[in-house]
């Protein structure tokens, strides 16, 4: 038996895996109360907004896959909000910007996570809304132990908050001090906000009516009014070091609705893999699987340098296409069928050579060649920029301490499953809205201020998000739900994970514990949109021999700290009803629970 850091959780009643042990405990509690996967996932997510505020918040966004028991395929629930009506390239250029900054008010889009969770609960849940929100209210009001990373972020930003974002200082530095790691941390204003929302929602009669009423209160009631009132007058410092006003309005919130969509899918080695559409980066995983067909990857040592090299070069090609062609299909023509077709992959596979490519190589698709040329030109400029580290001791760079994301996987006793990746609304990227205890998102930084692209900033358009949960079905009928935080790395780590399940026969925890790697060769989705040509980060567990061989192939290798890459969680259900779940030991936060 292979030693793993944690057991693979097994049971028949229900399983929950998330990026924080409190979130997983909350989800399991809701399953025990008779809730569905939808109830448990939503309750977990609201708790994660409280205990991981540097990774997500109530005014963030969401990509979610939901599979009903017995369904052949999941549905996609899009909680990715759109650009405000006044978010035009002309306006942002008039502000002296060439790139949309990573913090402040201008990068804000309509917050979509709340509406998506309410839609999921209404359509697929059982429990009253109060039971879903009560754990989050408890931890916000009574307190929870501050994660070391949260304490570090707040301590580093304390003076900036005091000078520039006083509402954030009041929220995150009560008594004038950042919370110490492990100390009890509270957000009583957020607890009061949720209590008020529940009070107003419970005026309606019946569970579904109360959920609909809560959505109304959020997007057209006191929460939307507070956001509208504040953004209309506020002028706050952003990542450029300058103070600017935002453009989000109450009308933008009132006009937005979440949407169900069919997933994009492909088959690989008898597995069917499902992702959200091209408004997300999810299809890069599908493109990568297509490219790996016939590559011999299944015969490689899954811990060897040849495997790392082949998968890395594959990802470079897929991500180059992401930068050229992905965007909101509701607003732009996307060559979707071509990108995930076997013929297109066949034509591109020969580009994977024995040495590391240092070129940007999107495919050239008839009618879309100008987009490939534009992506290459942007990447050339991106290679001249240093990636944001947040370490520089300047006002401009303090808020470039980019947040990350959380993830939730749930399967209930009936076989319903959820895989969700919420993000945005980070404490370090936007000031707290007065009276609400929550910060706005900054997802608009993924738009370009260049017209004519699928990712050009435009009112009503979804940014091409990095949020990317996954579901899959194995040849024996076992259903999988998995994902990870990590921005541009999400589909890189998930691809490696899936290949180890398929070709290595590993269980969920074995595949999570195995060493990971990722490349930064493509254009980052985040300000300042840098490109790290040839960059490859690997965990040291691959060993010196493999790492030296990767360097010899031309990769610009950085060896990470041990156990520092990836935050994968996963769950599965076999046809006989056996449930399994697992979570990464990295950062010592994520946990799986089940029985």
Q: Helix/strand/coil (H, E, C) string of 285-309? A: HHHHHHHHCCCCHHHCCCCCHHHHH
Look up the CATH number of the domain holding residue 537.
1.10.246.130
User: Is 195 among the domain residues?
Assistant: no
- Looking at residue 577, its pLDDT comes to 98
Rounded Cα distance, 559 and 535, in Å: 11
Q: Is residue 571 part of a domain?
A: no
Domain assignment present for residue 131? The answer is no
On whether residue 537 sits in a domain, the answer given is yes
- The β-bridge relationship of strands 535-538 and 556-559 is parallel
Q: What is the pLDDT of residue 151?
A: 96
Which residues, in sequence order, are bridge partners of residue 581?
9, 571
**Structural domain of 289:** 264-387+468-566
Domain presence at residue 515: yes
Residue 503: cis peptide before it, omega within 30 degrees of 0? no
Hey, which residues does 409 pair with through a beta bridge? 17, 419
Q: What is the pTM of this model?
A: 0.97
Longest pairwise C-alpha distance within the chain: 68
Does a cis peptide bond (omega within 30 degrees of 0) precede residue 275?
no
Which residues 6+ apart lie within 8 Å of 501 measured at CB?
480, 508, 511
Residue 387: the pLDDT is 86
Main-chain dihedrals φ then ψ at residue 390, nearest 5 degrees: 75, 5
In a domain, 219, yes or no: no
Q: To which residue do tokens 């599979």 refer?
A: 67
Successive 10-residue mean pLDDT values, the chain, 595 residues: 92 98 98 98 98 97 98 98 98 98 97 98 98 98 97 95 97 96 98 98 98 98 98 96 97 98 98 98 98 95 98 98 98 97 97 98 97 98 81 38 84 98 96 98 98 98 98 98 97 98 98 98 97 98 98 98 96 98 96 98
| pLDDT given at position 401 | 55
Asked whether residue 530 is assigned to any structural domain, the reply reads: yes
pLDDT computed for residue 476 by the predictor: 98
**Cβ neighbours of 333 (radius 10 Å):** 11
User: What is the tally of structural domains in the chain?
Assistant: 1
Helix, strand, or coil (residue 61): strand
Q: Is 546 part of any domain?
A: yes
């Amino acid at each position: 038996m292979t030693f793993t850091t944690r057991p693979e959780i097994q049971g028949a009643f229900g399983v929950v895996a998330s990026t924080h042990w409190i979130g997983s405990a909350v989800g399991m509690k809701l399953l025990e109360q008779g809730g569905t996967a939808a109830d448990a996932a939503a309750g977990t997510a609201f708790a994660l907004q409280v205990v991981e505020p540097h990774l997500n918040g109530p005014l963030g966004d969401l990509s979610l896959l939901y599979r009903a028991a017995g369904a052949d395929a999941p549905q996609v629930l899009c909680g990715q909000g759109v650009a405000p009506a006044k978010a035009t390239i002309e306006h942002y250029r008039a502000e002296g910007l060439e790139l949309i900054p990573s913090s402040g008010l201008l990068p804000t889009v309509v917050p979509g996570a709340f509406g998506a969770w309410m839609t999921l609960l209404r359509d697929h849940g059982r429990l009253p809304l109060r039971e879903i929100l009560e754990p989050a209210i408890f931890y916000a009001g009574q307190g929870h132990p501050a994660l070391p990373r949260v304490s570090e972020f707040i301590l580093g930003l304390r003076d900036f908050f005091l000078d520039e974002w006083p509402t954030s200082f009041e929220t995150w530095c009560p008594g004038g001090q950042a919370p110490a790691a492990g100390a009890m941390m509270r957000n009583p204003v957020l607890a009061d906000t949720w209590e008020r929302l529940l009070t107003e929602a419970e005026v309606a009669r019946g569970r579904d009516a109360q959920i609909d009423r809560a959505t109304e209160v959020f997007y057209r009631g006191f929460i939307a009014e507070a956001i509208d009132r504040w953004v209309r007058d506020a002028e706050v410092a952003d990542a450029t070091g300058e103070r600017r006003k935002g453009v989000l309005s109450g009308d933008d919130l009132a006009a937005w609705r979440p949407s169900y969509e069919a997933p994009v899918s492909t088959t690989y080695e008898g597995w069917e893999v499902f992702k959200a559409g091209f408004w997300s980066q999810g299809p890069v995983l599908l493109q990568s699987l297509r490219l790996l067909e016939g590559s011999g990857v299944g015969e490689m040592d899954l811990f060897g340098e040849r495997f790392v090299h082949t998968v890395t070069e594959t990802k470079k090609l897929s991500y180059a296409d992401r930068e050229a062609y992905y965007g909101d299909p509701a607003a732009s023509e996307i060559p979707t069928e071509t990108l995930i077709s076997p013929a297109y992959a066949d034509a591109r596979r020969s580009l994977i050579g024995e040495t590391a490519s240092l070129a940007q190589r999107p495919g050239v698709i008839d009618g879309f060649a100008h987009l490939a040329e534009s992506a290459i030109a942007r990447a050339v400029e991106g290679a001249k920029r240093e990636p944001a580290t947040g370490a520089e001791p300047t006002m401009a760079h303090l808020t470039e301490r980019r947040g990350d994301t959380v993830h939730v996987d749930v399967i209930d006793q009936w076989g319903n499953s959820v895989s969700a990746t919420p993000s945005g609304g980070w404490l370090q990227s936007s000031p707290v809205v007065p009276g609400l205890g929550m910060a706005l998102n900054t997802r608009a930084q993924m738009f370009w201020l260049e017209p004519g692209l699928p990712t050009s900033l435009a009112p009503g358009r979804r940014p091409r998000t990095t949020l990317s949960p996954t579901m899959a079905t194995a040849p024996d009928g076992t259903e999988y739900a998995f994902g990870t935080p990590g921005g541009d790395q999400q589909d890189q780590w998930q691809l490696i994970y899936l290949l180890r399940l398929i070709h290595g026969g590993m269980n969920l925890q074995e595949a999570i514990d195995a060493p990971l790697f990722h490349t930064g060769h493509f254009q980052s989705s985040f300000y300042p949109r840098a490109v790290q040509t040839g960059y490859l980060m690997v965990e040291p567990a691959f060993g010196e021999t493999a790492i030296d061989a990767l360097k010899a192939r031309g990769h610009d290798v950085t060896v990470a700290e041990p156990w520092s890459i990836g935050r994968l969680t996963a769950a599965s259900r076999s046809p006989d009803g056996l449930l399994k779940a697992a979570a990464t030991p990295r950062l010592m936060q994520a946990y799986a629970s089940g029985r």
